Amino acid sequence: MSTENPAAATVTPTAVVHQDFIRQIVRDDLATGKHHAVHTRFPPEPNGYLHIGHAKAICLSFGIAGEFKGWCNLRLDDTNPGKEDPEFVEGIKDDVRWLGFEWHSLRHASDYFEVFYRSALKLIEDGVAYVDDLNAEEMREYRGTLTTAGRNSPHRERSVEENLDLFRRMRAGEFADGAKTLRAKIDMSAGNINLRDPAIYRIRKIAHQNTGDAWPIYPMYDYAHCLSDAMEGITHSLCTLEFEDHRPLYDWFVDKVDLPNHPELWQSVVAAGLEAKPAKPRQIEFSRLNLSYCITSKRKLAQLVSENFVDGWDDPRMNTLRGLRRRGFTPAGLRLLIERVGVSKQNSVIDYAILEGCIREDLDATAARRMAVLDPLKLVLTNLPEGHEETLTFANHPKDDSFGTREVPFARELWIEQDDFAEVPPKGFHRLKPEGEVRLRGVGIIKCEQVIKDADGKVIELRCTLDPETRHGMPGADRKVKGTIHWVSAKHAVATEVRIYDRLFSVAAPDSEEDGKSWLDHVNPQAKRVVQTWLEPAAANVDPEQRFQFERLGYFVADRVDHRADAPVFNRTVTLRDVWAKPAGQ
């Protein structure tokens, strides 16, 4: 999707003036006239779904483009066929839009395959690239280590003519996979191992999702990524800190190919009808988003799916954006987290509780209230007549009248939460107990007169009386009792499946292996529980992805896949407070 309106880089403009080192670089570049407009990009590889770590990169690249009235491209770095899938492409596009952003132009690295090939021919002609016959294991051996220099390949001094011939034959599909590799000729003794004659092209006879069988050779990421940036006129190429040691190679490729001064290399892009404005980009690194209790390795996320630790990429226990969305996390809550974490070059681990706090903060303001009972105990108001029914009016939001009101049915028999009653109450217990009083939310004060148990001694029913003088509008309505509990009318309640989700891992650093255990040993067996619940009617007949605060229980969302009005399914998004915080004194 392309637009001529630079402000359309994001649909979530903000009045906040962000102060960080990247934005200061951008301000300086605009002030000095180095750039007249800002052009960024978000370049994921379509070999999996996006995760929470990508949210920071999305918010930064799209956010900066929006703040400085520039453009941000979405570019799929699809140089690794076999691991990539159109399903992931569509998922990435969906996730970016869900977070609240829109791209200036949708590009693929494969749009530039001809450019990469012609640029490689230029590097060979300039004497700075050669075809090598070493296999992958031999290349590793020749590369050396962090403390020992590498050795030149025996094929490094091939003539330009021989290299051109061999590379063209690679392109023609003449050689087997892995038989030959095109490498840059830089410096095998460089302290930065990335500069020790890195690979540019490898032979892979595998179909590509966009180009089919047209190419038996594919460019390496370091080569394709920087030239893609240069082709699109990216001014500020933002990436995470692990690419800092790759920056000299990034600049080497950009400078040696020199796309702006060699238009013959990229006329295929113009002929295909794509905008081309080659320029020299600047790579800038920032610290990635690391959260406690999380795994962000795509390989490990894929393993969780393939080995059935979770129910798919969108399982609400996963920290993929699809999983977080299905869990009920909000785009605004995620953007708030990114804003609070900020941008720096210092790696750190953010407490998962901060993310949950941001989601609570957003949902507190945006989620309507409803009543639900997760662990039901029957309560009968014996001084109301059999068959008694009435309709009460409740506010949908205690802090925002614009949410309006709803009607809630009330009857003689109710469901309350099991833990809102204690036959032998602990110290400080302010809910229902034998002969005790509590306020029934929106109704009045009730007193527990009788406790009914089954043959095993389990409490199965409470018989209470409602003080009519404490009902709304009556003289005793202001009478004080310490506790208030919620309820659902047993006759009108809607049976509902509720999935109680929690953190997928039971330790803060699941992949540290400091305790001698693997990361899979720390999967939290209590991260998903399914309970049969009773909802008030107004909570059940809603659309998927509608979010509520179930009063006193937490924030919940109608499942975007399984929920139906006639068979409701809700997921717990987050509790009302941080239940993982250590009690005082521990």
Q: Could you list the active site residues?
A: 45, 288, 298
51 annotated ligand binder:
yes
The per-residue b/e assignment along 148-177, b for 16 or more CB within 10 angstroms, e otherwise, is eebeebebeebeeeebbebbeebbeeebee
77 annotated ligand binder:
yes
- Burial degree of 383 (CB within 10 A; 0-12, 13-18, 19+): middle
- Locate the DSSP E strands across 307-397: 349-350, 368-370, 372-373, 376-381, 389-395
25 annotated ligand binder:
no
Q: Do 377 and 459 contact (CB within 8 A), yes or no?
A: yes
453 annotated ligand binder:
no
The residues near 192 (Cβ < 8 Å, ≥ 6 apart) are 245, 248, 249
Q: Do 227 and 77 contact (CB within 8 A), yes or no?
A: no
Q: Report which of 251, 229, 1 is spatially closest to residue 112, judged by C-alpha positions.
A: 229
Helix (H, G, I), strand (E, B) or coil at 3: coil
52 annotated ligand binder:
yes
From residue 6, alpha-carbon distances to 9, 10, 32, 100, 193 in Å are 6, 9, 21, 16, 39
Would you state the structure tokens that stand for residue 428, as one six-digit string?
């400080």
- In angstroms, the CA 329 to CA 196 distance is 45
From residue 326, alpha-carbon distances to 57, 272, 355, 547, 558 in Å are 21, 39, 16, 11, 9
Contacts 24+ apart (CB under 8 A), 468-471: 468/383, 468/444, 470/439, 470/444, 470/445, 471/443, 471/444
54 annotated ligand binder:
yes
250 annotated ligand binder:
no
Would you state the structure tokens that stand for residue 43, as one six-digit string?
């370049």
- In angstroms, the CA 446 to CA 429 distance is 16
Q: Do 317 and 293 contact (CB within 8 A), yes or no?
A: no
Would you state the structure tokens that stand for residue 388, as one six-digit string?
């008694």
Give just the sign of the alpha carbon dihedral 362, 365, 370, 372.
Answer: positive
172 annotated ligand binder:
no
- β-strand partners of 373: 534
CB count, 10 Å around CB of 130?
Answer: 25
55 annotated ligand binder:
yes
- In angstroms, the CA 338 to CA 413 distance is 47
46 annotated ligand binder:
yes
45 annotated ligand binder:
yes
Residue list, annotated binding site for L-glutamine: 77, 221
Q: Which residues are annotated as a binding site for ATP?
A: 45-47, 51-57, 240, 288-289
Q: Residue ranges for the binding site?
A: 45-47, 51-57, 77, 221, 240, 288-289
